[in-house]
Amino acid sequence: MKINLIRHGMTAGNLKKRYIGRTDEPLCDLGIEQIKAGNYPPCKIAAVSPMKRCIETLNLIYPDVTPILRNDLRECDFGDFEGKNYKELAENADYQRWIDSGGVLNFPNGESIIGFKQRCIADFLDLVRSVDEDISIITHGGTISAILENLAMEKRNFYEWSVANGEGYIVDFNGSNLIIAGEI
């Protein structure tokens, strides 16, 4: 089965390099233009995070496909870092500890990194094992990174799987592992 993992288009928060997880931002004008200009694989089945930015992206790419909403494919809750960028957090001791940890500490008053990854992976596996044809999944950068870090045959760490807005990966799923077949 082929799976298209697509990150949502750009939002105002993405433009300002903010940590946007639980904030339910729509696409910005640039994000809409970006998605409209993209070249995406066709599909008959599409799943989507319930966040506005993902639903809007799906509606632009696949306007005739009724989405399967997947709550657990949403982005990480960044807690105290939510809505802020690295410049605004530069003097924050918790942020410095998080940076010094290589991004593995939990977000203060947010979601644990391990819990976030487990949530995404479990929901992804549940979804793809419940369909029997190719599917597109429109979700978040962190969600895509969590899935690929843990399931891709090609081993990379979470941050090495970073994907830009409106881009993603085409993968083959063999029932337990993902094989990268191309980029979107």
The model's pLDDT over 74-115, given as tens digits with 9 standing for 90+, comes to 999 999 999 999 999 999 999 999 999 988 889 999 999 999
> How sure is the predictor about 176, in pLDDT bands with cuts at 50, 70 and 90?
confident
Contacts of 183 (CB under 8 A, 6+ apart): 167, 168, 169, 170
pLDDT exceeding 70 applies to what percent of the chain?
A: 100
Encoding tokens for residue 109?
């008053």
Rounded to whole angstroms, the Cα distance separating 37 from 80 reads: 35
The CATH number for 2-183, chosen from 3.30.70.141, 3.40.50.300, 3.90.1010.10, 3.40.50.1240, is 3.40.50.1240
pLDDT value of residue 103: 85
pLDDT value at residue 68: 96
Question: Would you state the structure tokens that stand for residue 140, as one six-digit string?
Answer: 């978040």
Give the span between the Cα atoms of 134 and 4, in whole angstroms: 8
**What is this structure's pTM?**
0.94
The structural domains of the chain, with segments of one domain joined by +, span 2-183
* Residues 20-63 pLDDT 10s: 999 999 999 999 999 999 999 999 999 999 999 999 999 999 99
Helix ranges (H only) for 8-130 are 12-15, 29-37, 52-61, 86-89, 93-100, 113-129
